[in-house]
Structure 1
């Protein structure tokens, strides 16, 4: 079956005029990918160096699953975490106002309120 498919593909009509252009385009895409990858690696090194200067960063990095990019994003958005008395203040600053829908008879689940 595969041999028949290959034989048919060799005889089929296809666009053969733009092969060199397609190869050049693919080469440019690979070069761009490598350039962007190199830039990202350099940025990660810079972020790592900056995080090593921030005392709170080591504590945040000890949280399982919280990598250096997320640690940097948290610190960039909140500043020094010691200025907050409670974690809810950080959530509110991020626009995440948590609320619990409860009544006297039932306990609801925690959701994001629409006021946050």
Structure 2
């Protein structure tokens, strides 16, 4: 009888450990995504309508609706005269828009996602 109880307890501990081992990384990833996303996108989201209204040749100071900060430039296809913004894509907040300026004027705008 005692051996059966110990075996039952051991099996329960194994099941609990297995459940924790499977759910803990998934829970951690979810929390990380939910914390990372707002930090990464704060002030960097440029919506489609604003992007569409931007005209090449416009002075940067005259571009209404430009987010207050840029995303970090991606290492691949990096251009020093360009600014990168996201459309708010969840959960990675990858760069979506590239706006390039020369002498303070918009010279090109591209969708890069």
Work out whether the TM-score is over 0.5. no
TM-score band, normalised by shorter chain: 0.3 to 0.5
**Structure with the higher helix share, 1 or 2:** 1
**Structure with the higher strand share, 1 or 2:** 2
Larger radius of gyration: 1
Q: TM-score, normalised by structure 2?
A: 0.36
- Larger RCO (CA under 8 A, 6+ residues apart): 2
